[in-house]
């Protein structure tokens, strides 16, 4: 199995720097790193080029012009460029536990996709990390939330994989900043729905189509640990429009979106 780490980023070079530093510190490196860049400027490019020079694995930088929040579109382009079978997806504001890739690789199962946890860092510790460039996290620090989620315990993976937070509306829940899937399965449902623009629900709507298509959702609890640097949140101006698309996908049992990854695969 060839595994890729897909990292979404936008104009936050300090964060992508720490993120990539934590990637270089992995016990098991991915076979490739694909950066989905939603229109960042030169400072972000400089950081990426630095890591391209020192990385032991290829780093593919997929960029398009900044035309507002289009994370679904740039992720589709990045997935299309990936040569991997299995993709672990994060955001560029995450610091990864050294066993992050190892855990996701061990947890992978055919025709399933994975939700994993994120642990929040508050403003104080986030600023501290930027100043020190230190990527180590003390889970006992009171500035770190979700205390129990920060523990790595592989013995519990099988017990929780299929029944943790799977009932009711939680079955659609996913963390786009820490998830994993098979590239072939994503192509089957046509990837992210690019009719959803602006922040909100693009990852959940993808989950709806994956479940409608018969793929299994599994939760990697106490593994695949990642820490989220604190930041201000994106505008939610388009949230209501995205909510309509999301609900239609549920109610109409949608399995394939009209505007998705296929357009980039054709060009390949």
List, for residues 143-195, the tens digit of each pLDDT value.
Answer: 998 878 899 999 999 999 999 888 888 889 998 899 999 999 999 999 999 99
Over the chain, what is the mean pLDDT? 94
Quickly state the pLDDT bin for 223 (edges 50, 70, 90).
Answer: very high
Cβ pair 54, 78 in contact under 8 A = no
Q: Top-level CATH class of 3-267?
A: alpha beta
Per-residue pLDDT reduced to its tens digit, 80-131:
999 999 999 999 999 999 999 999 999 999 999 999 989 999 999 999 999 9
Q: What is the pLDDT of residues 32-82, one digit of tens each?
A: 999 999 999 999 999 999 999 999 999 999 999 999 889 999 999 999 999
* Residue 237 predicted with pLDDT over 80: no
pLDDT at position 266 over 80: no
pLDDT digits (tens, 9 = 90+) for 195-212: 998 878 999 999 999 999
Domains of the chain, residue spans: 3-267
Determine the pLDDT at residue 268.
Answer: 44
């Amino acid at each position: 199995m060839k595994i890729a780490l897909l990292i979404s980023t936008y104009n936050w070079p300090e964060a992508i720097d720490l993120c990539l530093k934590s990637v270089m510190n992995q016990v098991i490196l991915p076979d490739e790193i694909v950066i989905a860049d939603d229109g960042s400027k030169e400072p972000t490019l400089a950081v990426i080029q630095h890591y391209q020079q020192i990385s032991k694995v290829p780093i593919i930088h997929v960029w398009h012009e900044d035309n507002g929040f289009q994370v679904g579109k740039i992720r589709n382009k990045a997935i299309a460029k990936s040569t991997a079978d299995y993709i672990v997806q994060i955001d560029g504001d995450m610091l990864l536990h050294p066993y992050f890739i190892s855990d996701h690789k061990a947890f992978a199962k055919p025709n399933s996709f994975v939700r994993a946890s994120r642990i929040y860092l508050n403003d104080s510790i986030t600023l501290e990390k930027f100043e020190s460039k230190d990527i180590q996290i003390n889970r006992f620090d009171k500035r770190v939330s979700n205390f129990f989620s920060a523990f790595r315990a592989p013995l519990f993976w099988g017990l929780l994989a299929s029944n943790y937070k799977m009932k009711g509306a939680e079955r659609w829940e996913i963390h786009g900043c820490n998830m994993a899937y098979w590239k072939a399965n994503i192509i089957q449902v046509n990837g992210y729905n690019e009719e959803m623009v602006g922040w909100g629900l693009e990852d959940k709507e993808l989950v709806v189509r994956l479940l409608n298509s018969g793929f299994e959702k599994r939760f990697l609890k106490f593994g695949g640990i990642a820490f989220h640097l604190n930041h201000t949140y994106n505008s939610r101006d388009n949230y209501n429009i995205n909510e309509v698309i999301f609900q239609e996908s549920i109610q109409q049992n949608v399995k394939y979106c009209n505007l998705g990854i296929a357009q980039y695969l054709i060009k390949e």
